[in-house]
Structure formats: structure tokens, C-alpha cells
Amino acid sequence: MARKLPMYKAISEAIAQEMERDENVFVMGEDIGAYGGIFGATTGLLEKFGPERVRDTPISEAAFIGAALGAASKGMRPIVELMFVDFFGVAMDQIYNHIAKAHYMSGGQVKMPVVIMTAMGGGYSDAAQHSQCLYGLFAHVPGLKIVIPSNSYDAKGLMISAIRDDNPVMYFFHKGLMGLGWMPSPPEATVEVPEEPYTVPIGEAKVVREGSDVTIVGVAKMVYEALWAAEELEKEGISAEVIDLRTLVPLDKKTLVNSVKKTGRLVVVDEDYRSYGMSGEVIATVVENGISLEAPPVRVAYPDVPVPYSRVLERYVLPDKEKIINAVKSIM
């Protein structure tokens, strides 16, 4: 049976069902117990499973992500919440040098089933240290899988897939999609979610709108900006296909390439910084596959500047529907 759930409840339900299925699954992080996570992703878990399996930690990212590394190497399946991805720097060595590489450096003898769940994204005046996406940084390093759901159905299915994976998975959720009462969220992000456990395969993109004139690619909140742009473009006779990548690593190159083969045009929408990131990787993937394009590909990405605190300035730099429409028209 399915019912509509906001994303934060879908994530919490996925974790709860996996904790019921496997006693090796446990959760750690700041304010994930009594508070239920600052963005609600661990709501109700402490009451259900107790403090041994739902552990509030001090503000010590290096310590609890390091503890997850040790626990995973001994057969446990830890989920750790890095409250904001912006804080990753203090646990960089644990993530980049150990969790990502232990499987390789042990000759495959050490599995590393760690899920690092983290909040990303701006749009609510939280400034330069609480609004970044940064998934491109982690996608750059071999050994980490990167998933980014855009709705509550995918959020539950991808979380279950991440927990069952024997490799480390970075699970990004956009704060502006969680369905929290105190933060605006597109109503389209709250969709029907089956009560029973299910998986969404890691590495499979989804065509969320079919079209024939241009392919628009994005993740998370940018999927909705792309869909809203596609609706407006249709009124002017431009048919846009929209792809929700859902996973950055491994990248679903087949879906991407097949779409651009059909449309001949590509616009990549990215809330992460423009340079050296997702937008460049998507375009390179298309070009390296020898796809014949009707026009040069275009990036609608976050400029290479820190996120402004000013709401007016933040809106000026964030990718949105209007910027996507202008980008599409520039290559028609």
C-alpha cells in the first residue's frame, strides 16, 4: 500500500525498515537521536531502537565518521549523518583517505558498507558555510558512490540500496525538498511511497519528461526547475526532455547519451559550483561518445563564488527556471 510521504519521513522509514531487517545497521550523528535530525531524517528512530543503535554524538565529525570506518571494517553497517556537507573538511581524511580506499588497499578483503548521509543546497539565506552542494568533490574520488534523490519515492528506495551496498555511499538530500514545515519545498517532491521496503538501483537515471528538441539534465531541486522550464518552453513549441540523474557515481551514461542522440542539444543544470564538477562531466560524457550536436552544450550552474547571505543576491546566482529557459533558447 502506498501513501504520500514527505522526503524526510521516507528516509526515516527506509532506515527503520533496514534496522529491523539487519541488526548490524545503526545510526550516529549530531542531534539524530532525541531531536530526530535537524532535517528530520532520523525522526522516531531513537524511540523505536534505543540509544545503543541510534547514537547522538558530540560535535566531532572526525570522531564519529572515523568510528563508522572502524565499525564497517568489523562487519557493521553504520549510517552517519554529516549535518551539513559544508562541514566535511574536518572529516576529510576519514572519508577520502580511508573509507573510500580501504576496499582497494586491502585487496578486497575489507568491505566498507558505510552510508554518509548529508544535507546540501541553498535558497534560504543560510550563507556560504551552510548552503553548498559539493557533490562534485566526492564524485571526483574513486571508491565513493554518490546518490541524490529528488522525491520521496526515490529517497526511500535509494536509502535502502545504499544501506545494503557493501561499498561506501554518499547520500545527499536537498534541504529544500525534505517537506519540512519551516522550509519551502516543491509539492511535486512529496509523492506516493510504498509501505513495504523496496530498492531504487544505484546508477540508474530516470527520464522524468520526454521531449525531442533538447535534453535538460539535473539532480535534486534542479529537476523541478528544469520541469517548470520545460512546461513554459512547450508553450513556445520547444519540446524538452528532462533527465533526473539520481546517481552521480556510477553515472548512467547510456540514458544520457541516448537522450542527446535523439534531441541533438544539451543543457546541464547544476546547483554545485560551475567549474570542475557535474556539469563538465556530463558534457564530457556526451562529447566523448561522439554525439553529433546541433549546437554547443550549455551549463546553467552556480557561478564560482561563495553563496551570498543576501536573499536577493542568492536568488541572482542560483540556477532557476528562467535561466534554463534562456539557455535553451540560446541554442535553438
- Taking the C-alpha atoms of residue 63 and residue 82, their distance in angstroms, rounded to an integer, is 12
* Helices and strands in the chain, H and E counts: 12, 14
What strands, in cross-sheet order, belong to the sheet with 115-120? 54-56, 25-29, 77-84, 115-120, 169-174, 145-147, 247-249
Q: Among this protein's residues, is 61 annotated catalytic? A: yes
Beta strands in the chain (DSSP E): 2-5, 25-29, 54-56, 77-84, 115-120, 145-147, 169-174, 191-194, 206-209, 214-218, 240-244, 247-249, 266-273, 298-302
How big is the chain by its Cα radius of gyration, in Å? 19
Report which DSSP code applies to 328: H
Residue pair 151/179 in contact (Cβ under 8 Å)? The answer is no
DSSP string of 98-131? IITTHHHHTTT-S----EEEEEE--SSS--TTSS
Decide the pairing of beta strands 2-5 and 191-194.
Answer: antiparallel
Decide the pairing of beta strands 206-209 and 240-244.
Answer: antiparallel
Selecting among 13, 18, 30, 61, the annotated active-site residue is: 61
What are the respective helix, strand and coil percentages of the chain, to the nearest 5? 40, 20, 40
Scan for cell 561506501, then name that residue: 168
Selecting among 130, 174, 225, 314, the annotated active-site residue is: 130
What residues act catalytically?
A: 61, 130
